[in-house]
């Protein structure tokens, strides 16, 4: 173009953001001579949609400093970013900002607030927003049901599901994803089957991959692996790697090597085996101490260029999100964090705790396994929370992967020792630890 303008720049940024090339989009954004709310929104939402929520929140603050007034689209994007990293304090500030601005909290913003508060570990605030929405539709109910589900509050989710029909609202496919997920977290197999059949037979909703995934998760965690396998093989829809991955994860949980190998062989024969398939089979072998099988799978992974997703835990303190990787020494307060880890180990030993070394999926000695467990990312985040917040205040930790059994047990015991409530969100759900007990009932 002989002359670029606001519209052309925004169009190019939108294109790059949609395909996930955010660095190229940001270069164009930074080169704009003038920006309007649309161009800011595109960049903020691009970061939020492609797994870079911290950058989304930083850019939002820059937008406010530039005296650019956000609109509803802006707020929806930043609320999504807050939910991804568990930035509760930032999310509460945005909620207050909405109250002082000219924007009314309609169903769209209300749903976004419910989702944000649920993902940030504050169900009380989520329910307060839910109760304050006058004209609730199915989408609003779905957000609250899913919120209860990820926290393991199954009965509350079921109560809302019943309330929907009482007020004349019809459940949607999202409603059933939420309610089936709630059943899976509580091991309610018969109730899950009844709801699954209700969805198909009475509500006329054809199950999608997500619904089958919930059922496979429900059956797999309950130890009904063959039933779950038959369900997946008998589906009339095109199954995906996530569905099979869920079943393989259940095989690891119950250390069922034979079925795990059978599934991988079946997927390989259909050309459906991928990187995640081999990672999961490697973990199944490791859980049973079959290190030859682990070495074989890792050789396949290396040959295919497969890398496991690195674990990351985060915690928000004073409106800033702090992230930790395994054995992380980069934090400015690393010295204090590791001193607190030593103190935590003393507390644990004084209460008779011994490390669950079988949680380490590597062929190393027990002493090395214990040292490895001591610097798990959940514990680093917990140690930082203990030194950075006032006594008796709640600590909230967020992890991108499933919590390991050792960290789960440690966090429960630390909640009893310190008198703190510790809330942790992993890939699957929330864990509320109080006085040595967890809301999941050790079923996750």
Query: What is the spatial distance between Cα 225 and Cα 235, in angstroms, rounded to a whole number?
Result: 16
Each domain of the chain, given as residue ranges in start order, spans 1-134, 313-438
Query: What is the spatial distance between Cα 233 and Cα 240, in angstroms, rounded to a whole number?
Result: 12
Cβ atoms of 406 and 355 closer than 8 Å: yes
Question: Residue 128: CB partners within 8 Å, gap ≥ 6?
Answer: none
Q: What is the pLDDT of residues 351-384, one digit of tens each?
A: 999 887 666 666 666 677 677 777 788 999 999 9
Tell me what pLDDT residue 306 has.
62
Query: What is the spatial distance between Cα 146 and Cα 84, in angstroms, rounded to a whole number?
Result: 15
Query: 131: number of CA atoms within 13 Å, CB side?
Result: 6
3-class SS shares of the chain: helix, strand, coil, % to 5 = 65, 5, 30
Query: What is the spatial distance between Cα 426 and Cα 205, in angstroms, rounded to a whole number?
Result: 30
Q: What is the pLDDT of residues 116-154, one digit of tens each?
A: 999 999 999 999 999 999 889 999 999 999 999 999 999
Instruction: Please provide the CATH number assigned to the domain covering 1-134.
Output: 1.25.40.10
Tell me what pLDDT residue 234 has.
82
Q: Which 8-state DSSP code applies to residue 311?
A: P
Q: Which 8-state DSSP code applies to residue 358?
A: G
Cβ atoms of 424 and 433 closer than 8 Å: yes
Angle between helices 107-119 and 88-100 (to 10 degrees): 160
Query: What is the spatial distance between Cα 347 and Cα 370, in angstroms, rounded to a whole number?
Result: 16
Query: What is the spatial distance between Cα 181 and Cα 154, in angstroms, rounded to a whole number?
Result: 9
> How many other CB atoms sit within 10 Å of the CB of residue 350?
9
Tell me what pLDDT residue 70 has.
95
Report in angstroms the alpha-carbon separations of 369 from 311, 347, 375. 17, 19, 10
Tell me what pLDDT residue 441 has.
85
Cβ atoms of 38 and 8 closer than 8 Å: no
Chunked mean pLDDT (size 10), the chain, 444 residues: 85 94 95 93 96 93 95 96 91 92 88 96 95 93 96 94 94 96 94 95 91 93 92 75 82 90 84 78 86 85 70 87 84 94 94 78 67 82 95 92 89 96 91 93 82
Cβ atoms of 22 and 34 closer than 8 Å: no
Tell me what pLDDT residue 239 has.
61
């Amino acid at each position: 173009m002989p002359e670029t303008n606001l519209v052309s720049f925004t169009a190019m940024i939108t294109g790059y953001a949609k395909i996930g090339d955010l660095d190229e989009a940001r270069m164009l954004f930074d080169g704009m001579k003038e920006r309007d709310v649309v161009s800011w929104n595109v960049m903020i939402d691009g970061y939020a949609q492609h797994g870079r929520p911290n950058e989304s929140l930083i850019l939002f603050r820059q937008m406010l400093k530039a005296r650019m007034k956000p609109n509803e689209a802006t707020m929806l994007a930043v609320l999504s970013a807050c939910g991804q990293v568990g930035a509760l304090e930032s999310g509460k500030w945005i909620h207050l900002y909405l109250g002082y601005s000219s924007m009314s909290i309609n169903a769209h913003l209300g749903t976004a607030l419910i989702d944000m508060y649920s993902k940030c570990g504050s169900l009380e605030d989520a329910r307060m927003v839910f109760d304050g929405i006058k004209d609730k539709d199915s989408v609003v109910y779905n957000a609250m049901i899913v919120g209860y589900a990820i926290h393991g509050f199954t009965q509350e989710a079921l109560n809302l599901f019943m309330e929907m029909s009482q007020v004349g609202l019809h459940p949607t496919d999202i409603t059933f994803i939420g309610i089936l997920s709630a059943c899976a977290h509580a091991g309610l197999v018969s109730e899950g089957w009844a709801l699954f059949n209700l969805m198909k037979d009475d509500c006329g909703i054809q199950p999608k991959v997500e619904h089958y995934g919930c059922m496979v998760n429900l059956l797999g965690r309950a130890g009904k692996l063959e039933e779950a396998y038959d369900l997946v093989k008998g589906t009339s829809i095109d199954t995906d790697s996530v569905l099979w991955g869920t079943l393989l994860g259940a095989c690891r949980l119950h250390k069922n090597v034979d079925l795990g190998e059978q599934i991988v062989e079946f997927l390989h024969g259909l050309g459906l085996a991928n990187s995640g398939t081999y990672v999961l089979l490697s973990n199944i072998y490791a859980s049973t101490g079959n290190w030859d099988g682990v070495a074989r799978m890792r050789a396949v992974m290396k040959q295919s260029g497969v890398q496991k997703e690195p674990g990351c835990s985060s915690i928000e303190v004073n409106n800033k999100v702090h992230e930790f990787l395994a054995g992380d020494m980069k934090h400015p307060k690393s010295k204090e964090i590791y001193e607190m880890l030593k103190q935590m180990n003393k507390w644990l030993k004084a209460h008779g705790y011994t490390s669950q070394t079988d949680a380490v999926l590597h062929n190393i000695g027990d002493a090395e396994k214990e040292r490895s467990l001591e610097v798990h990312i959940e514990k680093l985040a917990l140690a930082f929370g203990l030194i950075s917040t006032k006594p008796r205040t709640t600590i909230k930790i967020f992890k991108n992967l499933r919590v390991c059994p050792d960290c789960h047990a440690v966090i429960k015991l630390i909640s009893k020792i310190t008198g703190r409530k510790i809330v942790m969100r992993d890939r699957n759900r929330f864990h509320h630890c109080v006085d040595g007990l967890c809301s999941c009932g050790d079923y996750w």
